[in-house]
A and B are shown apart, each in its own frame.
Chain A
């Protein structure tokens, strides 16, 4: 039942009857197939074509507007052309499929709709809407214009009879007889009306949108047409006359104000006159303006709408030839003082003489904004630049080029636009669409979205050389100028000389020794300066993670001096969708060779680089595969003299990379195989490398393990362990590897338990972290029956390894007071939550869980183990 609108009981009951039948028909219609619908539509179209002239007669007789021949053509377009557009288009069930995207679009009918139709096109609009409604399995009640309801009803009856005869549900169309505005309002507010499709004057459209119902409201226009000097003038003049006189100008897309370039103005007017236009003088223009435009409202007077040019001239007391088709009225501007610059649905065309393209465009904008926003604009030109500028400037759903505005906008005749009798005018016209309204606006389109797998990758350096003396492969890498980036300590140790000796003979070399710490921007910029001076084509990064990271960033800035490192470090969720794109080097190609001198970071094979931003007091992480070194040299002779503590810390860093990549949501068979192998190698060789530093096999295998773990986390990333280690390591000055070690057993238990929150991960088919840990335990031969038991054995084995490497058991053991730690905890948890490392963790951490993990690490491994595990279950 509708609310708010007062009607007599009888009238309300009458309208309720229409709604009841329509609603029932709409429900029944949902059972119909595409074949059913297409059969009915074809029958309707044939019926409409057969009665096109008859309906045109009725329309003329009832409305006294327009031209019989043109109305007949409109009825033909509304049936034949519309059918041509819809005939092969699916509208039931699946209507479109995008298999490569896993998307399917499925049609859902709207139900019962209420449609307001205009006096200007009272039969063609009805024919069009009936076809659209049946094609989409909707029921429709028409609220025709009060002065055109009989011919509109007859158009509907012809469609209805044909439809029902061919199987459409009875009651599928209804028409309000002797309609009133109150009837329209009643129906617009009726709860069973699902959509209002209002084609008509601004009042009807506004009422539709004000009803609170979904509405397609398409209304008035004021079409500017620009006749630019490069246009084909004969074609333009004929097109404009054809359009503006078509059905006596009743199509709201027809030309209203013609703006003509000064150079062609006289010629154009002469051509118009030769083809039957009357060019008004100033007095005649003034009279026309007073007679056909209401000075109070500024709108056209109804008495002129759809009348012949000669009849309008007679009404205004103008003397014109009997064969006059069009009255052309020169105006000097747009606005209330130029009354003919508004919409005129009759064959009166305002013209404006423009001294320049700029002026012409400005006047067209003015016309567009004088009641024509969102509707239609027309241009005749052969200058693509001007056409482009015009299209940019006009706020019009349709910009018609080199063709008649009215027939062009209808679509399907002069262009490939969708045929319609309802022009969407976008927000400029207070409408919901700028489209030519068509069957897709009469459907709810459902998107069936199948789960897709994101494309994955395995990106690594082009070449990796490993085992003792791998550095000798440098000999085969020709260079005109090489810069070795290293630190003073490694230079003293003779590592630089070893590299020098391995280079191709005669290679010019410069050594750039940078501080043995994570690189600062100033260090990077100095390095870039050195690269420029040397015109380097090869950079050899000889060192641990800090040196290799510095060289990666130097290469980036050397190739792309304008790269803003802070912008490139912007956080992202998915590397493929990130906002900031890394530049493609525009200078010479530079080869980056990473020679690692520690066995842990894996930086020689990864796309990560860390930079210290002293100004802001923070670490900046750069991530992009363009940062990955071109060549990695994993030569264990560079790590034989690593101190024990460094061996332990970097070795556990390597283990953490592998364990985290092994359960990462970005993991793949490619990364899993590397992660698993690295884990096996660390457990097998790290104790020996720690306890017997000169054991070449252990050193070699640990050096390889670091690179192999790097290959895994370069593509699968890390997890919560790193996020936490970054946070508290930076706060308390704990080395990265050691900070990782302190967190590791606790994070393993955390990830192995049932998550409080799962991470969205389209590439995972189940929560598998615990099972993957169990698999690692199996690989290590740790035994255990259940998954839980295997996980626990992996944790215990990890703890035993940490003990063997003499790594402190707790943060407390590092001498950090409990009070100090507790005070720092809230901030540490927040910083850890901001760290992007955990975004690939299998379990989404809550801030409270990060806090608890830090507390566990403070208390230490093996303390309150049961309590810790329960906390995460």
Chain B
């Protein structure tokens, strides 16, 4: 489980090694900005390329809605 710190969200997502299954803990993330959102979109593209499964844990409901609006809902799995 990789903890995602709000201040280091972009760097964390860029540094994630995508092999097999990856678990990211978003419990500490209250809100994301455009760069964070773009980093998540890029992560989705990289995961597709690497055939990796990425699981998000602890995504709050507002952030969940943001990801749905970006069509990211189907590209990750979400657990509480």
Interface residues of A (CB under 8 A from B): 21, 23-28, 30-31, 111, 169-171
Q: Does A23 lie within 8 Å of B70, measured CB to CB?
A: yes
Among B13-21, B34-42, B48-56, the one that faces the other chain is B34-42
| Chain B residues within 8 Å of A170, by CB | 33-35
Q: Does B63 lie within 8 Å of A31, measured CB to CB?
A: yes
Q: Does A24 lie within 8 Å of B37, measured CB to CB?
A: yes
Top 4 closest pairs, chain A to chain B, by CB: A27-B69, A170-B34, A169-B34, A27-B66
B62 contacts partner chain A, Cβ-Cβ < 8 Å: yes
Mostly, the B contact residues are helix
Q: Does B33 lie within 8 Å of A30, measured CB to CB?
A: no
CB distance from B61 to the nearest CB of A (A): 11
For the complex, what is the distance from the CA of A24 to the CA of B31, rounded to whole Å? 14
| Chain B residues within 8 Å of A27, by CB | 37, 66-67, 69-70
| Chain B residues within 8 Å of A26, by CB | 69
Q: Does B62 lie within 8 Å of A24, measured CB to CB?
A: no
* CB proximity to A under 8 Å, residues B56-80: 62-63, 65-67, 69-70
| Chain B residues within 8 Å of A24, by CB | 34, 37-38, 41, 70
| Chain A residues within 8 Å of B41, by CB | 24
Nearest-neighbor residue (CB-CB) of A27 within chain B: B69
For the complex, what is the distance from the CA of A660 to the CA of B13, rounded to whole Å? 68
Q: Does A30 lie within 8 Å of B66, measured CB to CB?
A: yes
For the complex, what is the distance from the CA of A171 to the CA of B33, rounded to whole Å? 10
Nearest-neighbor residue (CB-CB) of A25 within chain B: B34
| Chain B residues within 8 Å of A169, by CB | 33-34
CB distance from B76 to the nearest CB of A (A): 15
- Please list 26 pairs of residues, one from A and one from B, whose beta carbons are closer than 8 Å in the complex, sorted by A's number: A21-B34, A23-B69, A23-B70, A24-B34, A24-B37, A25-B34, A26-B69, A27-B37, A27-B67, A27-B69, A27-B70, A28-B33, A28-B36, A28-B66, A30-B62, A30-B66, A30-B69, A31-B32, A31-B62, A31-B63, A169-B33, A169-B34, A170-B33, A170-B34, A170-B35, A171-B34
Nearest-neighbor residue (CB-CB) of B35 within chain A: A170
For the complex, what is the distance from the CA of A170 to the CA of B38, rounded to whole Å? 11
| Chain A residues within 8 Å of B66, by CB | 27-28, 30-31
For the complex, what is the distance from the CA of A27 to the CA of B70, rounded to whole Å? 6
For the complex, what is the distance from the CA of A171 to the CA of B70, rounded to whole Å? 14
For the complex, what is the distance from the CA of A24 to the CA of B68, rounded to whole Å? 11
For the complex, what is the distance from the CA of A170 to the CA of B37, rounded to whole Å? 11
CB distance from B20 to the nearest CB of A (A): 28
New contact pairs (5) apart from A30-B66, A31-B63, CB-CB < 8 Å: A23-B69, A24-B37, A27-B66, A27-B69, A28-B66
| Chain A residues within 8 Å of B69, by CB | 23, 26-27, 30, 111
Nearest-neighbor residue (CB-CB) of B34 within chain A: A170
Nearest-neighbor residue (CB-CB) of B67 within chain A: A27
Q: Does A30 lie within 8 Å of B34, measured CB to CB?
A: no
| Chain A residues within 8 Å of B31, by CB | 31
For the complex, what is the distance from the CA of A171 to the CA of B66, rounded to whole Å? 15
For the complex, what is the distance from the CA of A170 to the CA of B10, rounded to whole Å? 15
CB distance from A141 to the nearest CB of B (A): 15
CB distance from B47 to the nearest CB of A (A): 18
CB distance from A172 to the nearest CB of B (A): 8
| Chain B residues within 8 Å of A30, by CB | 62, 65-66, 69
For the complex, what is the distance from the CA of A171 to the CA of B35, rounded to whole Å? 10
CB distance from B9 to the nearest CB of A (A): 12
For the complex, what is the distance from the CA of A673 to the CA of B61, rounded to whole Å? 49
For the complex, what is the distance from the CA of A169 to the CA of B34, rounded to whole Å? 6
CB distance from B36 to the nearest CB of A (A): 8
Nearest-neighbor residue (CB-CB) of A24 within chain B: B37
For the complex, what is the distance from the CA of A206 to the CA of B37, rounded to whole Å? 35
* CB proximity to A under 8 Å, residues B6-31: 31
For the complex, what is the distance from the CA of A775 to the CA of B36, rounded to whole Å? 63
Q: Does B65 lie within 8 Å of A28, measured CB to CB?
A: no
Nearest-neighbor residue (CB-CB) of A111 within chain B: B69
Q: Does B34 lie within 8 Å of A28, measured CB to CB?
A: yes
Nearest-neighbor residue (CB-CB) of A36 within chain B: B31
CB distance from A544 to the nearest CB of B (A): 66
For the complex, what is the distance from the CA of A260 to the CA of B31, rounded to whole Å? 62
For the complex, what is the distance from the CA of A581 to the CA of B65, rounded to whole Å? 50
Nearest-neighbor residue (CB-CB) of B38 within chain A: A24
Nearest-neighbor residue (CB-CB) of A139 within chain B: B34
| Chain A residues within 8 Å of B38, by CB | 24
| Chain A residues within 8 Å of B35, by CB | 170
CB distance from B68 to the nearest CB of A (A): 8
| Chain A residues within 8 Å of B70, by CB | 23-24, 27
For the complex, what is the distance from the CA of A21 to the CA of B70, rounded to whole Å? 11
| Chain B residues within 8 Å of A21, by CB | 34
CB distance from A331 to the nearest CB of B (A): 54
CB distance from B42 to the nearest CB of A (A): 11
| Chain A residues within 8 Å of B36, by CB | 28
For the complex, what is the distance from the CA of A111 to the CA of B31, rounded to whole Å? 18
CB distance from A650 to the nearest CB of B (A): 63
| Chain A residues within 8 Å of B32, by CB | 28, 31
Nearest-neighbor residue (CB-CB) of B65 within chain A: A30
| Chain A residues within 8 Å of B63, by CB | 31
Q: Which of A25, A28, A111 has the most CB of B within 10 A?
A: A28
CB distance from B31 to the nearest CB of A (A): 5
Nearest-neighbor residue (CB-CB) of A21 within chain B: B34
| Chain B residues within 8 Å of A31, by CB | 31-32, 62-63, 66
For the complex, what is the distance from the CA of A21 to the CA of B41, rounded to whole Å? 11
For the complex, what is the distance from the CA of A25 to the CA of B37, rounded to whole Å? 8
For the complex, what is the distance from the CA of A733 to the CA of B69, rounded to whole Å? 67
CB distance from A196 to the nearest CB of B (A): 19
| Chain A residues within 8 Å of B37, by CB | 24, 27-28
For the complex, what is the distance from the CA of A24 to the CA of B66, rounded to whole Å? 8
For the complex, what is the distance from the CA of A169 to the CA of B37, rounded to whole Å? 10
For the complex, what is the distance from the CA of A28 to the CA of B34, rounded to whole Å? 6
| Chain B residues within 8 Å of A23, by CB | 69-70
For the complex, what is the distance from the CA of A26 to the CA of B37, rounded to whole Å? 11
Nearest-neighbor residue (CB-CB) of A171 within chain B: B34
Nearest-neighbor residue (CB-CB) of A164 within chain B: B34
CB distance from A744 to the nearest CB of B (A): 54
| Chain A residues within 8 Å of B33, by CB | 28, 169-170
Nearest-neighbor residue (CB-CB) of A112 within chain B: B69
Nearest-neighbor residue (CB-CB) of B41 within chain A: A24
CB distance from B39 to the nearest CB of A (A): 10
CB distance from A377 to the nearest CB of B (A): 42
For the complex, what is the distance from the CA of A111 to the CA of B68, rounded to whole Å? 12
CB distance from A1 to the nearest CB of B (A): 12
For the complex, what is the distance from the CA of A350 to the CA of B76, rounded to whole Å? 65
| Chain B residues within 8 Å of A171, by CB | 34
CB distance from B60 to the nearest CB of A (A): 9
For the complex, what is the distance from the CA of A26 to the CA of B65, rounded to whole Å? 11
Nearest-neighbor residue (CB-CB) of B72 within chain A: A27
For the complex, what is the distance from the CA of A25 to the CA of B70, rounded to whole Å? 10
CB distance from B38 to the nearest CB of A (A): 6
CB distance from A173 to the nearest CB of B (A): 12
Nearest-neighbor residue (CB-CB) of A172 within chain B: B34
CB distance from B14 to the nearest CB of A (A): 16
Nearest-neighbor residue (CB-CB) of B68 within chain A: A27
For the complex, what is the distance from the CA of A28 to the CA of B69, rounded to whole Å? 9
For the complex, what is the distance from the CA of A27 to the CA of B36, rounded to whole Å? 12
Q: Which of A21, A23, A31, A170 has the most CB of B within 10 A?
A: A31
CB distance from A195 to the nearest CB of B (A): 15
For the complex, what is the distance from the CA of A23 to the CA of B70, rounded to whole Å? 7
CB distance from A797 to the nearest CB of B (A): 56
CB distance from B54 to the nearest CB of A (A): 18
CB distance from A109 to the nearest CB of B (A): 9
For the complex, what is the distance from the CA of A30 to the CA of B63, rounded to whole Å? 9
CB distance from B29 to the nearest CB of A (A): 11
For the complex, what is the distance from the CA of A169 to the CA of B63, rounded to whole Å? 14
CB distance from B72 to the nearest CB of A (A): 9
CB distance from A135 to the nearest CB of B (A): 19
For the complex, what is the distance from the CA of A169 to the CA of B35, rounded to whole Å? 9
